[in-house]
Amino acid sequence: MLFNSYAFIFGFLPVTLVVFYLLGRNIGIRAGIGWLVICSLFFYGWWNPAYLGLIVGSMMFNFIVGTSLARRVGRPGNRTLLLLGVGVNLGLIAYFKYANFFVGNLNTVAGTDYNLGVIILPLAISFFTFQQITFLIDSYVGKVKEYNLLNYCLFVTFFPQLIAGPIVHHSEMMPQFARRSLANPRAINLAVGLSIFALGLFKKAVLADGIAPYADSVFADAENGQALDAIAAWGGALSYTFQLYFDFSGYSDMAIGLARMFSIRLPLNFNSPYKATNIIDFWRRWHMTLSRFLRDYVYIPLGGNRKGNARRHVNMLATMLIGGLWHGAGWTFVVWGGLHGLYLVINHFWQVLRRSAGFGGDGGWLGRSTGQAITFLAVVVGWVFFRALTFDGALVMLEGMAGLNGVALPAAIAHRAGALASSLQAAGVEFSTGGGGDFLKTWGWIAVLIAITFLLPNTQEIMRRYKPVLGYVSLAVRRLEWRPTPVWACGIAALLAVGVLSLPEVSVFLYFQF
């Protein structure tokens, strides 16, 4: 079931919400939590009921192993039990997500013809498995203090964050589930949650889905081997850059808003990443809970920065390669991860160079703007590999973006450019017939989304007064701050209405495939 569907908005959500508070207030919080677990499993099974057994079996296995680890902290054999638990979880992901990828590569290298058949990837397997790995490791080191099975089931299946995150820690959620006041509905929580949900729905249904066709058509041409000029290639790359941005930002807002309706705060997962002034800052803002997982459970166990700079950079590259492979079983994802690992290494070298040269601070407005522009361009290049289905398609895109196929504009622009058209032609710009409408729509969308991305506050800044997420403090200038007033109610209602009216063309969130 999708957040951006009539069935969810007008059926599943109101029924789940009303019954949760009725049960919680009249019978007890345990009944309310039990209802949420049942509804979350129904939500998951809506996609494919056959995989309900998989998620339930995974929960039972990890709960038994995790509680055993927590009760045996420091005892002999506990490390073996941890390795067994983590190994089973990784084995589950390896089979469903990577088995055909590895077998295909083995066949290519060894000339064999192994065939595992079609393996359907269970929805959200990466997210709920990684979340449970954090539970096992936290249990092993003694961080887990609460062993309630019902609460654990909600921790894993809580539907607002089940499908695409954020990846939460046991210690972040259990204290909230244990609150006696959880089942007492508060108008402010419902208002804040609905407002955040409406903002997210508008981002997804209107902005992300609105620009998606202009990205899809260009990448499809690239996959077909069609040469792209610089304007077309950059139009496609930037269209996808903003499609992914508003798709994931919209999902993250909707997840946070839904949880808040149930009086639960989730950790921040998306914080204006395109405003980052360097690639390190970007990864502190993009998919923040995945970055946290990779740092705590991959980078640091590999040695982090404790074994010298050379080892630090190797660990960084290895972590980002794993992060790339996590996103998809394909070499384009591995290249994307490796590219970001290289970006991070270069960024660290640059910071060391600046410090050794005696340059402190951020370079002022010019330094921040330059860093932001370079970071954004580097990210756009990376997204080409992330989006392309094949290396050939990615290379066609990059060739076009590099200007190797020239620059072309619609002939209609030449008629309106006057004397400037001659100067453009002298500079090597070609004018082609047709395509004027698509050109204006593509670059019109891009211009609007650039303005929204870089000039407006994000959702957390708008909702800052009401602490929308765990542990986030916004230091932004107080612009467009949400308040429970009639003006804001009308504005949010308008956004919600536009979002709902856009739902006949429902599309899956991009991160659902991971």
What is the tens place of the pLDDT at every residue in 59-112?
999 999 999 998 888 788 889 999 999 999 999 999 988 888 888 888 888 888
Beta carbons of 300 and 318 less than 8 angstroms apart: no
Section 29-44 average pLDDT: 94
pLDDT at 438 over 90: no
Per-residue pLDDT band for 413 (boundaries 50, 70, 90) equals confident
| Cα-only R_g, the chain | 24
Beta carbons of 484 and 188 less than 8 angstroms apart: yes
Token digits of residue 384: 């080409």
pTM for the full predicted model: 0.92
Share of the chain above pLDDT 70, in %: 96
At 63 the pLDDT is: 95
DSSP 321-344: HHHHHHH-SSHHHHHHHHHHHHHH
Task: Give pLDDT tens digits for 175-186.
Answer: 898 887 888 889
Helix axes of 364-387 and 331-356: crossing angle, nearest 10 degrees: 160
pLDDT at 475 over 70: no
Q: Has 169 been annotated as catalytic? A: no
Three-state SS annotation for 96-112: HHHHHHHHHHHHHHHCC
Section 2-30 average pLDDT: 93
* Eight-state DSSP code of residue 228: -
At 474 the pLDDT is: 67
Considering the candidates 327, 340, 348, 415, report the single residue annotated as catalytic.
327
Who has greater pLDDT, 328 or 477?
Answer: 328
Helix axes of 331-356 and 391-401: crossing angle, nearest 10 degrees: 50
Alpha-carbon distance of 390 to 113, in angstroms, equals: 22
Token digits of residue 410: 């619609």
Cite the beta strand spans of 413-468 per DSSP E: 429-432
Alpha-carbon distance of 453 to 376, in angstroms, equals: 12
Task: Give pLDDT tens digits for 185-208.
Answer: 899 999 999 999 999 999 999 999
